[in-house]
Structures are given as structure tokens and as C-alpha cells.
Amino acid sequence: MKAVILDYKSLSPHDLSTDELFSIPFDWETFDTTLPGETSKRIEGADIILTNKVVINKELLSDNPAIKLIIILATGTNNVDLETAKELEIPVCNVVDYSTESVAQHTFACLLMLSRRLRDYDKSVRNNSWSASPFFCLLDFTIEDLSGKTLGIIGYGAIGKRVHELAEAFNMNVIISESVVPGSSSQKDRVALDELLSVSDVVSIHSPLSPYTKDLMNQEKLKLMKNSALLINMGRGGIINEDDLLGALTVGTIKGAALDVLSAEPPAKSHPLIQNQPDNLLITPHVAWASRQSRQRLADQVVEILKNFQTGNLINRVNG
């Protein structure tokens, strides 16, 4: 069987153990990256396709009847036409719960960087402000403790739950938003989104992008937040209206924000949050998931999917 990995470099495999993966007796072909116009030729004759973000659309599925399995090297499945794959009886599998620890820890790394003003104090040392201080310490920027603060979580899957646990270790009060999907039943341990926004000192987003979460955090919702509040987004970029966020940070509607995701990735140099990044905004380049341990768990899970496939079993199937 021919197995093709279309965007192998997206896993940054240089520090991973992949011997077990490539010891599976397939005819392996790997490509570091694949542009849209290159996909058709590269999957021609392939039995198994592994893709992280390369799109496999209806046309590609229909034109390649040899495909027997598609593995998405991530949890999100929006880059593969699942319905067409199902119609053509092509199973699609993904990897799950591999990045929970990494994303949760990144959430608090960003939160601590904002609340402890680490970037500002680091700059102060580098520009010799500390050396010029008449005191043993430099207290130019107000530092806030997390203990006693209220953390509001939007999106309560595995990552949201782990963030909850870590928040309790910091002695934070935690509240959880009700689902924003219309018609969802309310849960007694959840609060309405508007209430969560109005009382939280930190709002942390861990939701997938859907028609119900697109532009969820817009100007109207941002105005509900405390002007001392911090906004964290480790979910998807489109959940926050980025123009509205830039305005809110600029005029002081909220105190600060940390984002690991943007609506377009990689962003253009002209992206408003890149071009006009204010000091109270921290942006990391979609790396919250990407600890070495997390990426190794991903690779190991792919091995398990393939081994099960070889024995006639399927795990982690996402298209019925």
C-alpha cells in the first residue's frame, strides 16, 4: 500500500521518534509541505493519505478511487470533505486529546505573562531601567495575582476542563459558559455567556469554530467585560472579531488579551492585529498545542490508527 504524508513538516518531526511509524510496511512518501495545486498529483495512486491542514475536497476524493483511509493529523476535521468521503466509503480518522496538557499550560503561560507584566519588566531590564533604579526592585508596572480572580471558560471540552483544574490550583474562582448553540439545554452548573463576560476577570476561550461561535466576541460582547479583564483565545481565530478586539484594546474596553490563533493563518503582514499590535496584546503563532510531548502523542496515536486499520479495525473515525 502507498501511504502519503502531505505536510509532514507541520509536525516539526526533527525532535520526535517516528521509527515505529515508518516501520509499518507501507510504501511511504512524505512531503514537507503541499500547495493546493500540488495535492492532486501527490495523492495519485495513494491508498492512505495523512494530512494536517492540506485540503482534501470532493473533487480530489472523487478522482482518486484507490484511497482506503484518510488520517487527519489534528483534531479539527474541516479540511476534509467528510460527507463525500462517507458516500465513497472512505473512512476518515483524526487524532484526539493529544494536546490537552500543552494547550492548558500555554493558556496559563500567556495569562501569567499578562498579569505579571513579564514582557514589560523584561524590556525594563534590557533597556537598563532597573540598573538606573534607586531601589533594589523596579515597580513601574502593576502586578496582579491570579488567586481570588474569577476565570470564565467558554468551551468546556478536555482542554477547558484541564484549564479549570489548573485555575483551581491558583485559587481562582471558575465559572463555565452555557453552550451558545441555540436550543441547547441549560445546565445547572453553567452561566449565561453575558453573565460570564460581565463578572469574569479572565475569559478563556477553548471552543471550536462553528456558525454559532463565529465572531462570538464582537464589540457588543467585549463591552460587557470589565475594563480590568483579560481575554485569552486558544480556540480558533474566527471566534473573536479582530477589528473589534483591536478597538477594545486601544481604547481600554478591556485590559489585555492573549491569542494563539488568528482568523487567517499564517497572517498577512497587513493583518490589523499584526500591523497595529498594541502593547497589551500578546500573540503566539498557533503553538499552544505543539509541545514536544504533545506532538509525540500525536505521532503515537497515528501509529495506533494505522495498526488497527491493518487488522480490519478502525479507531477515531469521524465520518460514520
Tell me which residues are annotated as active site: 236, 265, 286
Which of 104, 107, 101, 80 lies closest to 91 in space, CA to CA? Answer: 80
- Answer whether 205's CB lies under 8 Å from 260's CB: no
Q: Which residues contact 87 (CB under 8 A, 6 or more apart)?
A: none
- Answer whether 85's CB lies under 8 Å from 109's CB: no
Radius of gyration of the chain (CA): 22
User: How far is the C-alpha of 197 from the C-alpha of 203, rounded, in Å?
Assistant: 7
The DSSP-derived string for 189-237 is T-B-HHHHHHH-SEEEE-PPP-TTTTT-B-HHHHTTS-TT-EEEE-S-G
Burial class from Cβ neighbours inside 10 Å (0-12, 13-18, 19+) for residue 280 reads middle
Can you say whether the dihedral through the CA atoms of 252, 256, 261, 265 is positive or negative? positive
CA angle, 110 as apex, 108 and 112 as ends, to 5°? Answer: 65
Tell me how far CA of residue 225 lies from CA of 212, 245, 255, 304, in angstroms: 20, 12, 10, 44
Which of 96, 108, 98 lies closest to 165 in space, CA to CA? Answer: 108
What angle do helix axes 158-169 and 100-115 make, rounded to 10 degrees?
A: 50
User: How far is the C-alpha of 233 from the C-alpha of 114, rounded, in Å?
Assistant: 13
Kindly report the number of other CB atoms within 10 A of residue 273's CB atom. 21
